[in-house]
Amino acid sequence: MKEVILCKYGEVILKGANRSDFEAKMLKQLRQRARRIGNYKIYYSQSTVYIEPLDEEAIDNIDEMYYQAKHVFGFVGVSRAFACEKNIDTILEVVKTELAPKLRGYKTFKAESKRSDKRFPMTSPEISGEVGGAVLSSVPGIKVDVRNPEVIVRVEIREHEAFVHAGQEKGAGGIPYGSSGRGLLLLSGGIDSPVAGYMMAKRGVQLEAIHFESYPYTSERAKEKVLDLAKALTNYTMRIRVHVVSLTKIQELLRDNCEEDYFTLMLRRYMMAISLKLAHDYDCEAIITGESLGQVASQTMKAINVTNSMTDIPIFRPLIGMDKEEIIRIARQIGTFETSTLPFEDCCTVFTPRHPKTRPELEKVIEEQNHLPFDELVEEAYRTKEIIVVKQFGENKFE
Ligand code: ATP
Ligand code: MG
């Protein structure tokens, strides 16, 4: 039985004059993914995108295509429909043999029909009536509830074929990837930053990522872990460029020359300066971090202000008001949690102070900074960075 995939638009419907730009991005992303999987026809009609397999291989790979469709931002619902001949007997047969097994366990349903081919000899209510009858006779215990059904059975009579489907899964939501410009994600190996990246990507921000390491204090495995996290995000973004910057020299300098209480804050100022330079060079209009207010000493309002004061572009902190529990729920949903909790050291945990400042004074931090070689070390760390392109399909590429 031939199946097609239907993707329902989300808030893109509300866009005015530039709606077509958004639609074009969503279609492009589906097509780019489809190209890796098989030969599919992808087209738009009435707030729905249809993905039709065009040959046997595409039919065989429909599960993979469905998985891909669920990860494209901009669609709120994704479902699979059976395609069949436009003839009521065939349609009812499909409902009884293909759909009924999927409807087992549901208590209530409603049948809906749409006829874009007005030559079809029955009206929509007539089709719904017949289809409803077929469901009632083939699914034990199910009842009709037109107001609040658990599942809606839909029949669409289209130009060449009829589509029969039931049940819709959640799509990725949000707005199309890349429709809000570019942002630089500060990606650590922790739980929070991948979630922050995902949340901004969902709001259309194309991600560029920077990771700070401290080799040999941090290991090669710690870096691979971060690339694995980026890989998980490529389910949504298709590719992410990760810039890996070594902080070893800066950390050794701070260990020997900086007041211990201020170590983390100073380190974060170096990190921010390097990130700003990168954001500038790669046209990123915002910086994204996984900070959550009060979670650790460096995430109090005063501490946040110490890094905030350095930048002239916005810092997006989508997790700022979230509890750890909520963040973990999203991490599990996007498939980063397992990797994030692998036990590898992070550069921020190397030489951590015993009593980090929670209420630092900005002037004091700037004074500390003035005693240290700042710009030179920022330059050097930036110049020696490594670039890795992480792709959803295929191996990572070192540039
Ligand atoms: P995460 O779970 O994202 O590591 P965290 O709770 O451990 O966050 P911090 O270590 O204070 O918190 O880091 C706050 C934010 O700073 C991180 O969410 C991330 O955006 C950025 N950051 C921290 N360490 C690194 C790193 N090694 N490389 C890149 N960014 C980092
Ligand atoms: Mg961390």
Bridge pairing between strands 3-9 and 48-53 = antiparallel
Q: Whose CA is nearest to atom 20 of ligand 1?
A: 289
Question: Is the Cβ atom of 154 under 6 angstroms away from ligand 1?
Answer: no
pTM, full prediction: 0.93
Q: Secondary structure of the chain: what % helix, strand, coil (to 5)?
A: 45, 20, 35
Instruction: Please give the single-letter amino acid code of residue 196.
Output: A
Pocket test for ligand 1, best of 188, 213, 295 (most atoms within 8 A of CB): 188
Question: Domains (ranges, CATH) in the chain?
Answer: 2-170 (3.30.2130.30), 182-398 (3.40.50.620)
Instruction: Look up residue 130 and give its two tokens.
Output: 């017949």
Which residues make Cβ contacts (< 8 Å) with residue 101, sequence separation at least 6? none
- Written as six digits, the tokens of 394 are 């295929």
Q: What is the pLDDT of residue 358?
A: 75
State which ligand 1 atom lies nearest to the alpha carbon of 349: 10
The two tokens of residue 127 are 């089709």
What are 393's two structure tokens? 């399909």
181 C-alpha vs ligand 1 centroid, how far in Å?
Answer: 23
Q: Which ligand is nearest to the CA of 298?
A: 1
Q: Smallest Cα–Cα separation from 45: which of 23, 17, 76, 71?
A: 23
> Considering only CA atoms, which of 140, 139, 159, 151 is closest in space to residue 85?
159
* pLDDT at residue 258 in the model: 87
Strands (E), 118-203: 143-144, 151-157, 162-166, 169-170, 182-186
pLDDT for 1: 80
Enter the DSSP assignment of 297. Answer: G
What is the distance between the alpha carbons of residues 351 and 347, in angstroms, rounded to a whole number? 9
**Token pair of 94 as six digits:** 């499909």
Q: Tell me the C-alpha distance between 336 and 235, whole Å.
A: 11
pLDDT at 73: 98
Phi/psi of residue 65, nearest 5 degrees: -65, -40
Q: Please name which ligand lies nearest the alpha carbon of 296.
A: 1
Single-letter residue type at 47: S
What the block records as the tokens of 75 is 């669609």
- Taking the CA of 295 as reference, the closest ligand is 1
Per the structure block, which two tokens stand in for 296?
């650790």
Neighbouring C-beta atoms of residue 343, cutoff 10 Å: 8
310 C-beta neighbours (distance < 10 Å), count = 15
Question: Counting beta carbons within 10 angstroms of the beta carbon of residue 233, is it exposed (0 to 12), middle (13 to 18) or buried (19 or more)?
Answer: buried
Shortest-distance atom of ligand 1 to CA 340? 2
Please check whether residue 233 is in contact with residue 336, taking contact to mean a CB–CB distance below 8 angstroms.
yes
Helices 263-281, 301-308: axis angle to 10 degrees equals 40
pLDDT of residue 132: 97
Q: How far is the CA of 347 from the centre of ligand 1 (A)?
A: 9
| 280 CB neighbour count, 10 Å cutoff | 12
pLDDT < 70 regions, the chain: 348
Question: Is any ligand 1 atom within 6 A of the Cβ of residue 26?
Answer: no
Distance of CA 346 from the midpoint of ligand 2 (Å):
7
372 contact partners, CB below 8 Å, separation of at least 6: 253, 254, 257, 258, 266
CB 368 within 8 A of CB 262: yes
d(CA 344, CA 229): 13
DSSP one-letter code for 262: G
Residue 165 confidence (pLDDT):
95
Centroid of ligand 1 to alpha carbon of 313 (angstroms): 19
Listed in order, strand segments (DSSP E) in the chain are 3-9, 40-45, 48-53, 75-84, 108-115, 143-144, 151-157, 162-166, 169-170, 182-186, 206-213, 239-246, 286-288, 315-316, 386-391, 397-398
Residue of 192, 315, 324 to test ligand 1 pocket, by largest number of atoms within 8 Å of CB: 192
Neighbouring-strand partners of residue 186: 210
